[in-house]
Structure 1
Amino acid sequence: MKNRKYRLPYIWIVNVAFSALLMGCSDYLDVEPSAIRSGDNFVTNDENAVTTVNSIYNILAGHERWQGGLLESSSFYIGEILADFSEMGAIKGDYDDLERMIEWRPFTDEIILYGIWKRSYDGIYRSDYVLGSLPDAPIDPELKKRLLGEAYFLKGMNILRLVKVFGNVPLGDGIIPPDQYGNIPQKTMHEGFEMAADNFRKSIVRLPKRSEYSLNDLGRATEGAAQSMLARLYMLQAGMDKDALSTAWDSVYHYTNKVIQSGEYSLVPNYASIQEPEGENNSESIFELQFGSSATLNIGLGGDRSAVGTTSQIRCGIRGAENEGLPGGWGYFQPTQLLVNEFEPNDPRLSSCVYGPNYNDGIVYGVARNYNLSQMQSEYYNRKLAIDPETEASDLATSASNSSRNLRVMRYADVLLMHAEAAYYTGKEGEALIDIEMVRERARNSTNAKGFELGSDNYVATGNSNSLPMVNASGVDLLHAIWHERSVELALEDMRYWDLVRTGRYLDRLDVIKNTSKDPMANELRFANIDLRGNCQARCIEGPRGIKDIPMFPIPGAEAIKWNLKQVIGIY
C-alpha cells in the first residue's frame, strides 16, 4: 500500500518511533507524510495493533483537554452549559466563543465547534486506518476481532458526536483518496445516525463482555458499552431525526434490555462514591474515559499528566479566592439554582452535585472554602468536578495541571432510565416503574458527599433514609417522572441539553433561562435584552414533532468552503 496525501480534515499518522500517532498537519494543506507506516508494514504484530487502536481512544479523550495546540472541546460545553442547569461561570467576557454559543449567535469559527469537528474527524480517520489495515494483518485472530470491534465502536462515537452537533456532515466509507477531495457528499442527519448505528452494531458482535477483559484492559469498549451507546443513539434519533423509524423506541428497549439481562453491571450502593477517584471503573461504569499517568488508552506524545490528563477540574475549580492547599480554578461550569430546585427535599444526591458559599457553609471535602461571588455566575460550583485536596491538589498545582479523574460517559443508571423511558413508549409501564425504583432506592440509601461535614474526609450517612417516595404514576405523569429522575440522577453529566432537545422542551427552557439568570451580585437579568428563543429558533431544523425545534451549529467556515459544504441552517 503506497503512501498517500490525506486531508479531511486533520491527519494523524503512525510514527516509526511510535509513542502514539504523530500529530499531523496543523492546517488544511495537503501533507506528504514522511514517517507514515502503511497497515501492512506497521500493524505486523499484536503490540503495534493494540497501540494503533489506543490512538483512537486518545482522540476521544482529547476533547476533554488542551491538545495539539487546540483548546478543549469538553462535552459539557454543549451538553450542560447550553442548558438550564448550568451557567458558563467565571465572568462575562472571559470566553467570548462560549458566550456567543450560549446566546445562540455562534460564528463559523468558534473554537469549541472547531475542536469538535477537528477531533471527531481525527477519530474517524484513525478508526478507518485500523479498519483498513487490520483485516489482513498477521496478528492473533481473537485480538484482531476485538480490535476491529473497538475501532467500529470509536468510529460510531465520533460520527454520533458530529451528527448531533452539525446535522448534515460529509461522511465516506474508509479513508478518502486524494481524487475525492472536495467531493465527499454530505449525509443527512438521518443517514449520519444510521451510519453511526451501523458501526455500533458491527462492534457489538466483535467486542468481549466486560468480564472477559483483564484488569489491565479496564476502560476498553465492551459489548455492553456498544449496546448502551446504540440505545442512546436511538433515543436521540427518536427525538431529533424527522425521518427516524417508528421502531426507534423498540430498539432502545431491546438494547438496554440486553445490557440489563447480561448481569455484567449493577448500581453501586452509594451514589456519593461514583464520581470520586475510588469510584472509577466500578460495577456501574459501562464506559468511561481513562485519564492519568497510567492511562495507556489515552497516551499522547509523552507520558506526563499534560498529555494524559483532563483540564476539566482546573477549568471548573474555585476562581478568584485564596484557598490553602487548593490550586486556583477558572470557575466554569457552575450549577444553577434551577438545578438545586429540581431535587426533591432530602435527596442525598444534591450534595454530590453542588457546593458553594451559601450551601452547607461552603464545605467541600471537609474544609470550609473561600469564595468570590464577583467571579461567579451562580452561587454553586460543580461538586462532581471538585478537587480532593488530599489526593489531587498537589498534582493540579503543577504547570501540567491536568487531572487524572476519569470521565464517566455511560453509567448503568442511565441504561435503567433509558430502559424505563423505552418501556413507557412501548406500553410496559410496570417495567418502567421497576427501573425508576431501582435508581431511587439507591439514592435514598446513599450518603451525603464525601467530606460533607467539617473536618471529615469520609462518607457520612444522611440519617434520613425515608426520603424519595416510590413513584406511583402512569401515563404522561410517568413520563415526566422518568425525565425528572434523569435530570437529578445524571445531573451535570453532559446529557441535560440533549435530553431537553430530544423531548422538545429546549426552547421553552430558554425562556426560563432568560427570566432567571443573573449574577449573584447583580440585580439585572443577564439575558434581559437577548432573544434566546428567537436566536435559537432561527438556527433550528424540523424534528419529529413537525416544527423547527432541533438546534444546529455551523460547520467551521474554512471546512465549508474547502469541502464545498452547505450549512444546514445558513451562514451566520
Structure 2
Amino acid sequence: MRHYIKYLFFGSLLFLANSCREALDLTPVAARTADGFLNDPKNAVEAVNACYYQLLRLQEFNENNHTHDYFFGDLTTFDSQIGSTPNDFSDLQRLTEWTMNNTNVPARTLWSVGYQGVHNANYVITSLPDATIDANLKSRLMGEAYFCRGYWYLRFATLFGNVPIVTTRLSTTDFKDAKKGTIHDAFEQAVADFKKAAELLPEKSAYSAADIGRASKGAARGFLARTLMYQIGFDKQNTHTWQEVLDETTKIINSSQYSLAANYATIFETEGENNNESIFELQATSLGNAERATDAIGSHSPTCQGVRTNNLLAGVIVWGWGYNNPTQDLVNEFEAGDPRLSSTVFGKPHNNGIVYGASFNYDIGTEWTPYHNRKAAKTPGDASGGFGWWRNGNNIRQMRYAEILLMHAEALYNTNSEGPARTYLNMIRKQSEKQHFCPRV
C-alpha cells in the first residue's frame, strides 16, 4: 500500500506506567513520567498508534499467538472449511466444532490482545486530557482512542458475551480482580465509546495523506450502527431501536464522504485500499526481512489462506498454508453469471485456476474443498526476498460503504419502509454489474 500508519509498540511504556512505585522509593533522574510523555504531540500520536497496533495483531502468528478474523467468522459457518492438513492446528478444529475451552489458542489470543488494546486506549483516554498539546489534535486523538476501545468491546460482546468492563488504567493485580459484566454491559460500553468517538473525530476527507486509515466520524457512526443492530438481535436487556440504526446510517449517507466503488473487482486489490468505499480498514505493510509478527506491521492472513506448500506463481515461489477453503455451498449461492464470484473464490474448478494471469501448483491432497479465498490471493510481489512471504501488505477491510447501505436497508425494512429498503438493496446488486477484472490480470 502507498500510505499506512506507522504503528509503534507502546507496551513497555504502559507496563512502567503501572508498576509499583513503593517498592523503590527513589527520586527519578532524567526520566519522563507517562503523563508528561503525552505533552509532546509526537508521543501523543504514538500512544494512539499503539491502539491501532493491537487491532492489527488480530492477523498475527507467532509461537504463542495465532488468530485471524475469519477463524471466528467464515470457519464457523457453512461457507468455509478449515483447510490445510487434517491434523494441523487442533485448536482451530475445536473452535469450529464449538468445543473450545479457556486454553484454546485463537480465543485466548483474541482475549489477551483485546484487553491489551483496551489498556492502551484507557491510557490515552485517562491521561491525554491533561496534556498540553493542540486542542484539535487532542480531540482527534481522544476520538481515535474511544473508537479503538469501542471496537474491542463490540468484539467481546459478540464473541465472549459476559466480560469485565475496564475503563480505567489497572495494574495486573487489579485486573485479575475485575468483576465480570454482562453482554448488555459490553454492548452499552461499545455504544458509549462509538458515540463519543463520533462526536470527537473528523470526517474522512479532513485527514491528510499521511494519516490515511485513521478512524473517522463515518467509521465511528458505522460501527455504532453495527453495534446497535447486533444489540437489538442478541441483548435481552436491549432498549435501542431500529430507528437509531437508521439515524446513524442516514448521517453517513448524507455526509457525502463515501460511494460504492465503480469496479467491485478492485475493492480487495492493492489499488482498492482506502478507496471511496472504505469506511475503515486495518493498515498493513510488507517488510521483506520480517520473520515474525512482532517484527512487522503487515498481515499474515494471505499467507495463512494461500495455496498449501511451495507454489509457483509467475515463476516466483509463493508460500501458503491452505486455510479457509470456500465451500461449494457458498459458490452455489451466486447466481449464474454473477461476476462477483471471480472476486470471491479461485481454484481449479473456477477459471481453470488462473489468478493474476498464472496458475498455482494446486496440491489437491491438502485441500478440503477445491476453492481458495480470492480476496486473500497473493501476488508475485508478495514473495519478495527474505521472509516477505510471512507478512503481507494487504489491508484488512473492516467496514465498507456497502455494509452501511445494507444496514440502512434493514433499518428501513424494520421501520415499515420496505419500498425504500429495496432501493438501497438494489444499489448493491447494481454494483456487481459494473465489475470487470483488473487490468493486470
- 1:84 pairs, out of 55, 78, 86, with 78
Identity of aligned residues (%): 39
User: Deviations for 1:63-98, whole angstroms, at most 9, x for unmatched residues?
Assistant: 11136x532321110111111111111121101000
Query: Is structure 2 residue 314 aligned with structure 1 residue 319?
Result: no
SS in 1 for 2:296: helix
- 2:214 pairs, out of 215, 220, 224, with 220
How far 1:293 moved relative to its partner? Answer: 5.2
Q: Give the distance between the partners of 2:35 and 2:12, measured in 1 at CA.
A: 21
Q: Give the distance between the partners of 1:355 and 1:193, measured in 2 at CA.
A: 37
Do 2:318 and 2:389's aligned partners in 1 also have CA atoms closer than 8 Å?
A: no
Q: Tell me: CA distance 1:178–1:440, structure 2 relative to 1, closer, same or farther (3 Å).
A: closer
SS in 2 for 1:430: helix
After the TM superposition, which residues 339-488 of structure 1 pair with which residues of structure 2 at under 5 Å, given as runs? Answer: 339-389=330-380, 391-394=381-384, 398=387, 401-447=390-436, 449-450=437-438, 457-458=440-441
Aligned to 1:262: 255
After the TM superposition, which residues 49-68 of structure 1 pair with which residues of structure 2 at under 5 Å, given as runs? Answer: 49-66=44-61
After the TM superposition, which residues 267-306 of structure 1 pair with which residues of structure 2 at under 5 Å, given as runs? Answer: 267-292=260-285, 306=295
Q: Give the distance between the partners of 2:207 and 2:175, measured in 1 at CA.
A: 40
Alignment TM-score, normalising by the size of structure 1? 0.70
Do 2:61 and 2:292's aligned partners in 1 also have CA atoms closer than 8 Å?
A: no
Q: Tell me: CA distance 1:170–1:52, structure 2 relative to 1, closer, same or farther (3 Å).
A: same
Moved more, 88-97 or 399-408: 399-408
Aligned to 1:521: none
- 2:334 maps to amino acid: F
- 1:332 maps to amino acid: Y
- 2:328 maps to amino acid: Q
- 1:125 pairs, out of 115, 119, 128, with 119
Do 1:293 and 1:304's aligned partners in 2 also have CA atoms closer than 8 Å?
A: no
Do 2:8 and 2:50's aligned partners in 1 also have CA atoms closer than 8 Å?
A: no
Q: Tell me: CA distance 1:274–1:165, structure 2 relative to 1, closer, same or farther (3 Å).
A: same
Q: Give the distance between the partners of 2:334 and 2:389, measured in 1 at CA.
A: 36
SS in 2 for 1:167: coil
Q: Give the distance between the partners of 2:32 and 2:113, measured in 1 at CA.
A: 21
How far 1:305 moved relative to its partner? Answer: 9.4
Do 1:39 and 1:130's aligned partners in 2 also have CA atoms closer than 8 Å?
A: no
SS in 2 for 1:63: helix
SS in 2 for 1:205: helix
- 1:228 maps to amino acid: G
How far 1:24 moved relative to its partner? Answer: 8.3
Q: Give the distance between the partners of 2:133 and 2:217, measured in 1 at CA.
A: 22
Do 1:291 and 1:403's aligned partners in 2 also have CA atoms closer than 8 Å?
A: yes
Q: Give the distance between the partners of 2:409 and 2:237, measured in 1 at CA.
A: 24
Q: Give the distance between the partners of 2:61 and 2:71, measured in 1 at CA.
A: 14
Moved more, 260-269 or 165-174: 165-174
Q: Tell me: CA distance 1:237–1:383, structure 2 relative to 1, closer, same or farther (3 Å).
A: same
Aligned to 2:91: 97
SS in 2 for 1:98: helix
Aligned to 1:199: 193
SS in 2 for 1:408: strand
Aligned to 2:170: 176
Query: Is structure 2 residue 148 aligned with structure 1 residue 157?
Result: no
Query: Is structure 2 residue 108 aligned with structure 1 residue 114?
Result: yes
Q: Give the distance between the partners of 2:304 and 2:188, measured in 1 at CA.
A: 35
How far 1:181 moved relative to its partner? Answer: 4.7
SS in 1 for 2:317: coil
Q: Give the distance between the partners of 1:309 and 1:250, measured in 2 at CA.
A: 39
Q: Give the distance between the partners of 1:173 and 1:278, measured in 2 at CA.
A: 38
SS in 2 for 1:139: coil
SS in 2 for 1:186: coil
Q: Give the distance between the partners of 2:259 and 2:161, measured in 1 at CA.
A: 35
Q: Give the distance between the partners of 1:210 and 1:260, measured in 2 at CA.
A: 13
- 1:224 maps to amino acid: G
Q: Tell me: CA distance 1:446–1:435, structure 2 relative to 1, closer, same or farther (3 Å).
A: same
How far 1:25 moved relative to its partner? Answer: 11
How far 1:37 moved relative to its partner? Answer: 5.4
- Structure 2: runs of 5 or more not aligned: 1-6
SS in 1 for 2:145: helix
Query: Is structure 2 residue 329 aligned with structure 1 residue 338?
Result: yes
SS in 1 for 2:384: helix
- 2:131 pairs, out of 110, 117, 137, with 137
- 1:364 maps to amino acid: V
- 2:104 maps to amino acid: E
Q: Give the distance between the partners of 2:158 and 2:392, measured in 1 at CA.
A: 28
Do 2:286 and 2:297's aligned partners in 1 also have CA atoms closer than 8 Å?
A: yes
Q: Give the distance between the partners of 1:83 and 1:381, measured in 2 at CA.
A: 16
Q: Give the distance between the partners of 1:376 and 1:31, measured in 2 at CA.
A: 49
Aligned residue-pair number? 422
How far 1:326 moved relative to its partner? Answer: 3.3
